[in-house]
Structures are given as C-alpha cells and as structure tokens.
Amino acid sequence: MVKKVLVDGHYGAVSLNIGSILGGRKDLEVICLEDKSTFTPEQRVNLLNTADIVILCQSAQTVTQTMPLIQNNTTKVLDTSNAYRLAPNWAYGLPELSPEQRRRIAVSRYTALPATISTGASLILNPLVKAKIVPPYHPIIIQSVVGYSSGGTNMINMYEDPKRPQGLSSVRIYGLDQNMMVQKEIMHACGISYRPAINPMIGDYGNGIAVCVPLHLRTLSKRLHSRQVWEYIVRAYENEPFIDVMCFDSSPADLNGFLDANGIVPVSCELRSLSGGEEDIGDFGVTAFPTSHDVPCVGYRIHTPDDKTMTIATDLGVLTPPVHEALSGCDLVALESNYDLHMLRSGPYPYYLRSRIESQRGHLSNDECSAKLLELIQEGCEKFALCHLSQENNTPQLALQTVFSTLGAAGVVPDKDCVVQTQRRNEISPALAF
C-alpha cells in the first residue's frame, strides 16, 4: 500500500532536500507544500488530515498553529522545529539513544526531530552517561560548527546574497548568552542534570556539522584511558547502521590535520535512490534487496561491465528468500559473519542486546554464514568476503576457522576450491579479483 507523505513548509537544509530524498520511493506518494499560495487554506487542511505522515518543516511558531488543524487520530507527525522536542507526549526522534527510544518512536503518533548540535553531542555523551563514566552533574563544554542552512531560509538567503556583508566570510559565534533550547534538549536526551556550556559557530558553507565534546579524563567517574572511553562508544553503536565510529588510531595525517564539518559526502558525489529492479549506475547494473534487520536495511547485487556479478549483504537476522535469490549465481559474495555464538553469550553485552543480535532481525552468526558459503560453493561460487565482524563478539581468525571447519567437513579445500577473506575494519582490505 502506497503511503501519502505531506511535507508542509520549506525551512532549513532538511526540508530543502526532503522531497528529493523521498521522491524515488515507489511506496510513497510525496506532496510538498513549499509555497502555500498555490493551495487554499481548505485544501491545506484537507491534505493535513488525509496524509498518512505529515512532516512539518516550519518555524516553531507556525508549527504550533498548524497542529490544531490535524483533527484525526491516525496521521503521524514529524516536526523539524524545536516546538515539541521537550513535550512529554512527543517522542524524541533519536532512536540510537536506546532500544526503548526506538520502540517509542515506532509507536508514537508524534515525533520531534532533534537539533543538529543535540544529535552530535547526545550521541557522544549518552553512552558515557549510561555507563556512569560521565556523571549527570559533570560540567560539560560542547563545541560545534555548522553550515548556514541550519538557520533556515532567511539565513540561507543572507549568506547566498552576492551583496552580503563581509563579516559573513568568517566563522561567527552565536548563543553567547548561553540560553539555548538545545542545552535543555541535550539534558533531556542524555539524562544529565547540569546545563552544558555550548560554543556554537556558523561557518560560511551550506550543509554539514562537526560537534566536539572535550573531556578531562582525570575528572571522570572511572579512571580510564582514552581508548577505553572510545571502546564504550564503539559498543554502543556497533549495530547501528547509520553511525560509523572512527578508528581510534586515526592519525592527524589521516584527516589531513583537520576534521571537516562538511566533508563526509563530497559535493561532487551523485546520490541515487534505488527501488525495484536493476538500475544502471555508470557502467554497472545495481539491484537493491531488503534484508531482515530491526531497522530498514538493504543489500546490493552488482552486475559489472564484463558480465560478472557480486552481492554484498550485511545486517541480516536471517537469510530470507530475497537474500537467497540475490546471493545465487554470483562470482563474488560479501556476506555478514557478525558474531561467534559462544563469545556473544559469554561477553559483556546485556541480555536484551544479545537477544536482539541473535534474533531474526539481528545479525548473522559465523555458523550461519559458513553454512551459506558451503551452499554457494556447491552452486559454483568461488570467492567470498566475510563482512561486518563484531569487534566484541568475533575475531577474523575465529570467523575464518568456523568457515574452514564447515568447508573441510564437506571436503572443500580453502585456497584451492575457493578463496575466503575477512574484511578489515576501518581500513581498505586487499582486493578480490573476480
């Protein structure tokens, strides 16, 4: 069933791009009310009440005027302003805070999307507060720099005006009175009781943000090395598909001496939304297929110009028929081998997280991966890459040992009958020609 999504308003970086982000989805009918003058008030009210999902991209004042117009009990509302971020009957839209937070968002009719600074700071602080490394009363200083699109259409127009003031070319500090909604938002999201001091800056670029939370290790509740603090953050987001924790050993040279606020996705990169059958991207044919996970995820089957085929599939709780179909007949398979069952059950993860990983909407174990590789070898595939190995619940050696034991029991000789390689974490793995 096609869902109707109404984007009401045209305010800030998210709303400016949301139509194009959702436009390629065949399961959604997207209507953008960027210019209210093209719709009568009655037409707008009708759209607000007939949509399955309404995304409010307006100022906080306008949002509070819009909400009473939605008079049904079914429409789900996502608000990008700060009008309801602290409201008790609204879910705070940062699911990575906890499994409970993700469940609340899933069942709530109303979700308030977090501010950019709050998103970055909360994702850093939340696991450390939960682990009692950072006490709730700890004095915290947050530094950030953000592109001018975060200020909405007025600031975008001001920065992109050819006759703009010369002062806009430099980084500008704001929030000097330390009386910002985002401070309360971070306290609410992380469960801290002491208002953090924030040093926010606007940069002369469009999109992107960098947030930094410096910590004096000697002032924390636990005596930890910086690597140990990093390990807590890694464990917190190990199974989160939209969070990538940088390698601890990344040197300043790896970053060219800087951490760019807008360099994650280069402007020159073309972003494509895939749905349905094979689509041409350059000289390659690419097919996306769904995987079984507790958040929406996909794998990819790629057809090369020289008529070879490879498939990459991770975030798999179970090998569903679409996954089986995508893996069949490939020249190269990159398949998840996430955890060793014994390591998982005897490791530091709490019960709820272990259960999630083992479930049909979690991850694929070494044993499950090995069984599938044997099946694919019998079908003619000879080259495999083991992907998404857990840092806490697996090792490259253990993953390979499990595969080799399964293959050996069936009379398959690795490096003769097939090639199996574990992919490296946070660095480029050796190429597998196919």
What span, in angstroms and rounded, lies between the C-alpha atoms of 53 and 356? 28
Tell if the pTM clears 0.75, that is, is over it.
no
User: What residues have CB less than 8 Å from 423, skipping those under 6 apart?
Assistant: 334, 385, 386, 387, 389, 429
**pLDDT in tens for each of the 434 residues of the chain?**
789 999 888 655 566 567 667 766 778 888 877 655 567 889 889 999 999 999 998 889 999 999 999 999 999 999 999 999 999 999 999 999 999 999 999 999 999 999 999 999 999 999 999 999 999 999 999 999 999 888 877 888 899 888 899 889 999 999 999 999 999 999 999 999 999 999 999 999 888 899 999 999 988 888 888 889 999 999 999 888 889 888 777 655 556 667 778 765 554 456 666 766 888 888 899 999 989 887 678 899 999 999 999 999 998 999 999 999 999 999 999 999 999 999 999 988 878 778 889 999 889 999 999 999 999 999 999 999 999 999 889 999 999 999 999 999 999 999 999 999 999 876 788 888 88
Torsions phi, psi for 36 (to 5 deg): -65, -20
Point out which residues pair with 110 in neighbouring strands. Answer: 77
Residue count of the chain: 434
DSSP 391-423: TTT--HHHHHHHHHHHHHHTT--BTTTBEEEEP
DSSP state, residue 182: H
Question: Do strands 279-281 and 209-212 pair parallel, antiparallel, or not at all (unpaired)?
Answer: unpaired
DSSP state, residue 179: -
- Residue 310's H or E segment, with its range, is strand 309-313
What span, in angstroms and rounded, lies between the C-alpha atoms of 241 and 317? 14
User: What residues have CB less than 8 Å from 268, skipping those under 6 apart?
Assistant: none
Which pLDDT does position 267 carry in this prediction?
Answer: 47
Per-residue tokens: 307 = 């008529």
What span, in angstroms and rounded, lies between the C-alpha atoms of 299 and 287? 8
What span, in angstroms and rounded, lies between the C-alpha atoms of 354 and 106? 21
DSSP 14-36: HHHHHHHHHHT-TTEEEEEES-G
Tell me if 355 sits within 8 A of 331, measured CB to CB: no
What span, in angstroms and rounded, lies between the C-alpha atoms of 359 and 353? 10
What span, in angstroms and rounded, lies between the C-alpha atoms of 33 and 38? 8
- Cα 197 to Cα 15, 118, 143, 177, 352: the distances in Å are 28, 12, 9, 10, 34
Which pLDDT does position 11 carry in this prediction?
Answer: 56
Q: Where are the beta strands (DSSP E) in 166-222?
A: 172-173, 197-203, 209-212
- Cα 121 to Cα 74, 118, 214, 307: the distances in Å are 33, 5, 11, 46
- Domains, the chain, ordered by start: 3-112 (3.40.50.720), 116-237 (3.30.360.10), 279-422 (3.60.15.10)
Tell me if 400 sits within 8 A of 406, measured CB to CB: no
Per-residue tokens: 173 = 């500090």
Tell me if 33 sits within 8 A of 43, measured CB to CB: no
Residue 133's SS3 state is coil
The C-alpha R_g of the chain, in whole angstroms, comes to 24
What span, in angstroms and rounded, lies between the C-alpha atoms of 183 and 404? 53
